[in-house]
Amino acid sequence: MQEELSETELNLDVLFAIQAGSDTTSGVLTLSLYHILANAKVYTRLANEVRDAFPSGYITADDHPRLLQLPYLSSVVTEALRLGSPFPGLPRVAPKDGIVIDGMFIPGGTIVGVPAWAQHMSPDNFWPDPERFVPERWLDEGQGTDSIANKNAIMTFSSGPFGCLGKALAIKELYVVIAQLLVSCDLTLGPKFDHKQFYHGIKNMRTTIFTYPLTVSVAIRDADDTPRG
Ligand code: HEM
């Protein structure tokens, strides 16, 4: 049963579903916000970056090119897309005469697919901590000399002629919504928020589903409020 929320507490799953207009985008947004708010270091670094870049406290969709230049915000979005892609192998059928894929002949009519989730969790592609939310893996310095962050392995939007038509819109929404929330509000997880229930309630189905709500306390900031830190 849904908990009753106080005036300043919002259920962000519901808000994002309305804002994003796509269950997949709202799933990635909810997942991003959870990881940002559950980790004080991530929150502080990200909030400082976007608040320094937009001291007016106001961001529009036209600011997207400037947002793309913010390295930590980009890392947070990329990491959220890596963890928010629970696709099984989206099926494709080999043509009648068969096809050679990566040096191997695949007979006609065979169903093939790339399981995005397995690829995103593979230690061959992401190391260390492939299952954890670590935006630092996408920064130039990565996580140290032996770390791996294989951008080519990211299959969030699939690829080729049947890849996601809404990719550019979805990415723009993620940048703008996350940045706008952080420049205009101080956010913390709700007082009764239960990490265990939330985390165990994440269902990696075709999209990311949350069976326990992400409740967040919100305080509207003045434009000249100094970043936390
Ligand atoms: C983070 C958000 C999103 C993710 C992860 C995502 C992921 C995907 C994936 C993996 C596919 C390919 C399916 C396949 O290869 O068979 C796809 C297809 C598609 N997506 Fe998205 N999507 C997202 C957001 C959106 C949005 C916001 C829209 C529209 C506004 C959209 C519209 C479409 C359409 C129309 C297709 C079908 C393309 C076709 O079959 O030609 N998607 N999406």
Q: What is the CATH number of the domain that holds 213?
A: 1.10.630.10
State pLDDT tens for residues 58-78.
888 889 999 999 999 999 999
Does residue 108 have its Cβ closer than 6 Å to ligand 1?
no
Contact 125, 147 (CB under 8 A): no
User: Quick check: is 96 in a domain?
Assistant: no
Number of Cβ atoms within 10 Å of the Cβ of 109? 10
Report the separation in Å between the CA atom of 157 and the middle of ligand 1, taken as the mean of its atom positions.
Answer: 6
Report the separation in Å between the CA atom of 22 and the middle of ligand 1, taken as the mean of its atom positions.
Answer: 9
User: Quick check: is 215 in a domain?
Assistant: yes
188/219 Cα distance (integer angstroms): 9
Does residue 88 have its Cβ closer than 6 Å to ligand 1?
no
164 in a labelled binding site: yes
Q: What is the residue type of 227?
A: P
User: Quick check: is 197 in a domain?
Assistant: yes
State pLDDT tens for residues 72-107.
999 999 999 999 887 777 788 999 999 999 899 999
User: Quick check: is 186 in a domain?
Assistant: yes
Domain range for 60 is: 21-87+134-142+153-220
Percentage above 90 pLDDT, the chain: 62
Alpha carbon distances (Å) from 62 to 49, 57, 75, 155, 181: 18, 15, 20, 27, 16
53: nearest Cα among 74, 32, 25, 39: 74
User: Quick check: is 95 in a domain?
Assistant: no
Question: If pLDDT is split at 50, 70 and 90, which confidence band does 44 have?
Answer: very high
Does residue 87 have its Cβ closer than 6 Å to ligand 1?
yes
User: Quick check: is 39 in a domain?
Assistant: yes
Helix (H, G, I), strand (E, B) or coil at 108: coil
Looking at the structure of the chain, the number of domains it has is 1
Q: Tell me 89's DSSP state.
A: B
Helices and strands in the chain: count of H runs, count of E runs = 8, 11
User: Quick check: is 5 in a domain?
Assistant: no
User: Quick check: is 100 in a domain?
Assistant: no
Does residue 24 have its Cβ closer than 6 Å to ligand 1?
yes
Residue nearest to atom 2 of ligand 1 (CA): 25
Report the separation in Å between the CA atom of 5 and the middle of ligand 1, taken as the mean of its atom positions.
Answer: 33
> Chain centroid to CA 124: how far?
21
Q: What is the residue type of 211?
A: T
Give the pLDDT score at 88. Answer: 73
Does residue 125 have its Cβ closer than 6 Å to ligand 1?
no
Report the separation in Å between the CA atom of 174 and the middle of ligand 1, taken as the mean of its atom positions.
Answer: 15
ipTM value? 0.97
Does residue 90 have its Cβ closer than 6 Å to ligand 1?
yes
State pLDDT tens for residues 108-139.
999 998 888 899 999 999 999 999 999 999 99
Residue at token pair 């969030």: 156
- Mutate-to-test residue for ligand 1 from 83, 157, 173, 176, highest number of ligand atoms within 8 A of CB: 157
Does residue 68 have its Cβ closer than 6 Å to ligand 1?
no
Give the pLDDT score at 160. Answer: 84
